[in-house]
């Protein structure tokens, strides 16, 4: 992004190649647009929740770049990025990201119908014309659906894993098109730009992913050692 305009937005195909491909992708983008490492002023990273491995890769890269080049980091909430994908007619939105064990990483958004967030910057930061009703947390889709009014749109890559919890006889529960389920780098950039303008930068030394809960490996380790 330069002067508020997204210049390029390459994407990864599905698959575990992010660790090997992310640096060459950034290098290619910088060379294509005549940018050197010291020219980078701000770096916007989708902070989570999401895939543990994916978050570690993204945050570790951001921290490393900041500590070596001085680029400033903005930690952008992933749920706000996803909410920006919601259809224009969606009154309520539930983010659905698989957390395994019949749980989801989720958040709830509702259409802004008041004037409190009427300016463009506020709308962009909230993920489009939506305000956050429930922040990112661990929950079940069943519990979320019980709390949210109808109609409600479901959005996120966890939907196929939780299809059994989607009531087929409730016309008020609307599953969005799968092409809306992935976060977009351009949206991360737009929200990050607004946050940066407000001085909401992260400390590279202290920055950690928003995991919401401990990884399965950590939970097993704690369970094993608790019995000793």
Q: Set out the domains of the chain in order of their start, with CATH numbers.
A: 18-78+183-226 (3.30.420.40), 79-180 (3.30.420.40)
Please give the pLDDT value at position 35. 94
pLDDT tens digit at each of 228 positions of the chain: 999 999 999 988 766 677 788 999 999 999 999 999 899 999 999 999 998 988 999 999 999 999 999 999 999 999 999 999 999 899 999 999 999 999 999 999 998 765 444 444 454 444 457 889 999 999 999 999 999 999 999 999 999 999 999 999 999 999 999 999 999 999 999 999 999 999 999 999 999 999 998 777 777 788 888 766
Please give the pLDDT value at position 15. 60
Q: What is the DSSP string of the chain?
A: -BTTB------PPSSS-HHHHHHHHHHHHHHHTT--GGG--EEEEE--SS-HHHHHHHHHHHHHHHHHH--EEEEE-HHHHHHTTS-TT-SEEEE-EEEETTEEEEEEEEE--SSTT-SHHHHHHTTSSEEEEEEEEEE-HHHHHHHSPSSEEEESTTGGGGGGGS-TT-TTEEEPPGGGSS--HHHHHHHHHHHHHTT-PBPTTT-----SS--HHHHHHHHHHHT-
Please give the pLDDT value at position 13. 75
What sign does the CA torsion over 53, 54, 56, 57 have?
Answer: positive
Number of residues assigned to the chain:
228
Hey, which residues does 44 pair with through a beta bridge?
74
Residues in Cβ contact with 179 at an 8 Å cutoff, skipping those fewer than 6 apart: none
- Chain centroid to Cα 205, Å, comes to 21
pTM score: 0.89
Residue position matching structure tokens 């002067």: 3
β-strands 97-100, 92-95 pairing: unpaired
Please give the pLDDT value at position 213. 87
Residue position matching structure tokens 């909410």: 83
β-strands 72-76, 92-95 pairing: unpaired
What tokens does 199 get?
Answer: 């001085």
Q: Return d(Cα 165, Cα 227) in angstroms, integer.
A: 34
């Amino acid at each position: 992004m330069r002067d508020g305009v997204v210049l390029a937005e390459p994407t990864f195909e599905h698959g575990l190649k992010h660790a090997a491909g992310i640096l060459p992708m950034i290098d290619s983008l910088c060379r294509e647009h005549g940018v050197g490492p010291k020219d980078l002023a701000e770096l916007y990273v989708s902070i989570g929740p999401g895939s543990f491995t994916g978050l570690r890769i993204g945050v570790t890269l951001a921290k490393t770049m900041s500590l070596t080049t001085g680029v400033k980091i903005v930690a952008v909430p992933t749920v706000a990025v996803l909410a920006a994908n919601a259809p224009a007619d969606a009154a309520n939105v539930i983010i659905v990201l698989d957390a395994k064990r019949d749980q989801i990483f989720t958040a709830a958004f509702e259409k802004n119908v008041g004037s409190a967030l009427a300016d463009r910057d506020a709308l962009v930061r909230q993920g489009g014309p939506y305000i956050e009703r429930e922040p990112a947390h661990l929950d079940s889709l069943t519990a979320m659906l019980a709390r949210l009014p109808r109609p409600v749109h479901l959005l996120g890559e966890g939907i196929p894993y939780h299809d059994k919890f989607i009531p087929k006889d409730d016309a008020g529960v609307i599953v969005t098109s799968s092409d809306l389920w992935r976060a977009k780098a351009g949206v991360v950039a737009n929200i990050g730009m607004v946050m940066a303008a407000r001085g909401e930068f992260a400390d590279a030394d202290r920055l950690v992913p928003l995991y919401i809960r401990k990884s399965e490996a950590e939970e097993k380790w704690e369970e094993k050692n608790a019995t000793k």
